Amino acid sequence: MARIHLDRIAVAADAIDENRHVGNLAYLRWMQDAATAHSAAQGWPLERYRAAGAGWFVRSHFIEYLRPALAGDILLLYTWVRDMTGRLSTRRYLFVRESDGVAVAEAETLWVFVDFDTGRLVRIAPEVLSAFSIVPDDDPELVALAGRPVRRTGGRHRPR
């Protein structure tokens, strides 16, 4: 089981916005895809959540853009679970340009665990909790990837 999931992204022309760098929607799409891939790799593809009757919904996203990413860049997208308690989970992301090792963005998503039939928040099932390792911001592997401790990003609002 991978504590930190890695996706390698070749930045295509359709990810570029009117400002000539990777646009917001591309980052969000990559974050969603990486979270889904990491979950599947941990034994929880979408089909398993459907069978269980509950799964993850986005409550909020936060992205901090550090440097522009351009068409032709190769980005290494690292994602990990920062915390998972009760009905909530924070997933973090680090985008690193492969050519120079520079972090171009850091992000997080606050996920909520929801019953598919009722649409209500429910407690995260124990078998889901046990499938994911919690990786703190000062984890040595993360520090090595980022070249420094990963900063806490802006998604601080926690639902009740």
pLDDT confidence of residue 142 = 85
Q: How far apart are CA 37 and CA 56, in angstroms?
A: 13
Task: Read off the tokens for 133.
Answer: 């390792």
Q: What is the mean pLDDT of residues 141-157?
A: 69
Q: Are 102 and 85 in contact (CB under 8 A)?
A: no
Q: What is the pLDDT of residue 159?
A: 42
Task: Supply the pLDDT for residue 157.
Answer: 44
**pLDDT reported for residue 66:** 95
Give the span between the Cα atoms of 46 and 13, in whole angstroms: 29
CA pair distance 25, 91, nearest whole angstrom: 18
Give, in degrees to the nearest 5, the angle at Cα 134 between 63 and 9.
Answer: 45
Q: Looking at residue 88, what is its pLDDT?
A: 98
Give the sheet arrangement for strand 54-65, strand by strand: 5-10, 74-85, 88-97, 103-115, 54-65
Backbone angles phi, psi at 13, to 5 degrees: -60, -30
User: Rounded to 10 degrees, what is the CA torsion of 51, 54, 59, 62?
Assistant: -40
- Mean pLDDT across the chain, nearest whole number? 92
Q: How confident is the model at residue 151 (pLDDT cuts 50, 70, 90)?
A: low
If you average pLDDT over residues 63-92, what whole number do you get?
A: 97
Band (pLDDT 50/70/90 cuts) for residue 1 is: low
Q: Which fold has domain 5-146?
A: Thiol Ester Dehydrase; Chain A (3.10.129)
Separation between Cα atoms, residue 57 and residue 41, nearest integer Å: 18
